[in-house]
Amino acid sequence: MKILIVNTYDIKGGAARAAYRLHKALLVQNIDSQMLVQNKISDDYTAITETNKVKKNLNQFRPFLDSLPVRLYKERTKTDFSTSWIGFSGMVDKINEINPDIVHLHWICGGMMRIEDIVKIKAPIVWSLHDMWAFTGGCHYDEECEGYKSACGNCKVLGSGKENDLSKRVFERKQKVFAAKKEMTIVGLSKWLNECSKNSTLLKDKNHINLPNPIDTDTFKPFDKQKARDLWGLPQNKKLVLFGAIGTTSDLRKGFKELSEAMAKIEQTNNIEFVVFGSSKPKNAPDFGFKTHYLGSLADDVSLVTLYSAVDVIVVPSLQENLSNAIMESLACGTPVVGFDIGGNRDMVEHKQNGYLAKPFDTDDLACGIEWVLNAPNYDEVCQNAREKVLREFDSVVVSKKYIELYEDILKND
């Protein structure tokens, strides 16, 4: 069985890292898997990309070129919006030349291919949804407008007041393509996103299945807390609260504002310090009332493992979230998680078992959750529950076997 994983990047960004983990897990199961990417960061020979130097350099500009129509909307929000209008990437030719049994699409924006290219893929398609883009008019998260349930237009993310705007045109392009491409199985990585997709106009008639991302629990596992704090230069005698995401302080969806409010409500003691990764210290850094350590971006799993192990709790206050890598990684390292009870968070966090699910957007309850974890009399048990949840449901061996079963079922019925 020959599987081709397709993603814009190999290891840059959450979707890329999740797709790459699945690719590596399939290889461990002796599946013939390759990963095709537009922009390659790693030196892994099983991840393939354009070799022509001119085209390779052009690929660096494709994300910018793809964003040009979006830039005309001056009132747009910070939420990502992709049009996938640029052709001539050659990706579909490469896919068909490799001739896999199944093409497993992941995050394919950033100018990687046109929407219309999807219908030219000859093999059956499995498509893992890392956000809402596949079934919207271009936004990666809909900011709860739910236009995807009917037809897009008057796009909230674009700040558009027009019915026939860019989102409407992207929506109609997808409608034509998805109607023509019948052999497509949609994987909702979280139960929440799976339900959203099943209720969407664009994908409701496709076969859906809920399967998570895998994680290598031999890599992501608890590390000695004292040694981890020494490595990061963090204090041994404080309770440490971690917050991290790509675009941590600039992306409103990541909930930095809500977290700031929650931290301000926590009883001021000298016992707590705050740790932020994924962002350098902003020019006008907020005063949480606690000493704050900004660690910048982290590029490797070893750094993440030692950081999760160094802290007492991680807070993931996203306002919309699919299946957060940070939550899964932290739980695998035995560190409890606090977040809002939204999206895919409840797939991983069991309330007051391995973390705390706060009422959506209630910063009082978010503060309550942080204090509950930090002061839990059975804290060690909560940490153990965190690790066991991941071993049971998200371990790469467990999850990769479920994907293999899915591939086999598709090929059997092809």
Q: How far is CA 66 from the centre of its chain?
A: 21
Residue-wise pLDDT tens digits, 39-69: 999 999 999 998 888 888 888 889 999 999 9
Cα-trace Rg, the chain: 21
CA distances from 358 to 39, 112, 192, 318 (A): 38, 37, 17, 11
pLDDT at 337: 98
Distance between CA atoms of residues 99 and 122, nearest Å: 8
pLDDT at 254: 78
Instruction: State residue 142 phi and psi, 5-degree precision.
Output: -85, 0
Percent helix, percent strand, percent coil in the chain, to nearest 5: 40, 15, 45
- Find, among 21, 55, 52, the residue nearest to 35 by Cα: 21
Instruction: Look up the CATH number of domain 225-393.
Output: 3.40.50.2000
Distance between CA atoms of residues 24 and 19, nearest Å: 9
Higher pLDDT, 252 or 244: 244
Residue with tokens 């809909």: 142
Residue 361, H or E segment: none
How much is the pTM?
0.92
- The fraction of the chain above a pLDDT of 70, given in percent, is 98
Checking DSSP bridges between strand 184-188 and strand 272-277, what pairing results, if any? Answer: unpaired
* SS3 per residue for 212-268: CCCECCCCCCCCCHHHHHHHHCCCCCCEEEEEECCCCCCCHHHCHHHHHHHHHHCCC
CA distances from 292 to 5, 240, 260 (A): 39, 10, 12
Q: What is the DSSP letter of 305?
A: H
Record: fold of 2-214+395-413: Rossmann fold (3.40.50)
- Which tokens go with 66? 């793809």
Q: Judging by beta carbons within 10 Å of its beta carbon (0-12, 13-18, 19+), is residue 391 exposed, middle or buried?
A: middle
Residue-wise pLDDT tens digits, 134-190: 999 999 999 999 999 999 999 999 999 899 999 999 999 999 999 999 889 999 999
Q: What residues does 313 pair with on adjacent strands?
A: 241
Checking DSSP bridges between strand 47-48 and strand 32-39, what pairing results, if any? Answer: parallel
Indicate the residue type of 208: H
Q: What is the DSSP letter of 10?
A: S
Mean pLDDT of 254-282: 84
- The fraction of the chain above a pLDDT of 90, given in percent, is 80
Q: What residues does 240 pair with on adjacent strands?
A: 273
Residue 284 has pLDDT above 80, yes or no: no
Handedness of CA 44, 47, 51, 54 (dihedral sign): negative
- Which tokens go with 388? 């066991």
pLDDT at 247: 53
CA angle 193, 195, 201 (to 5 degrees): 100
Residue 28, H or E segment: helix 14-28
Residue 396 has pLDDT above 70, yes or no: yes
Higher pLDDT, 73 or 88: 73
pLDDT at 251: 64
All CATH 3.40.50.2000 domain ranges of the chain, comma separated, are 2-214+395-413, 225-393
**For the residues of 308-325, what is the DSSP string, one character each?**
HHHSSEEEE--SS-SS-H
- Which tokens go with 106? 């992941």
- Find, among 181, 169, 184, the residue nearest to 85 by Cα: 169
Can you tell me whether residue 338 is helix, strand or coil?
strand
Q: What's the whole-number average pLDDT of the chain?
A: 93
Residue with tokens 């932290």: 330
CB 155 within 8 Å of CB 165: yes
Mean pLDDT of 301-321: 95
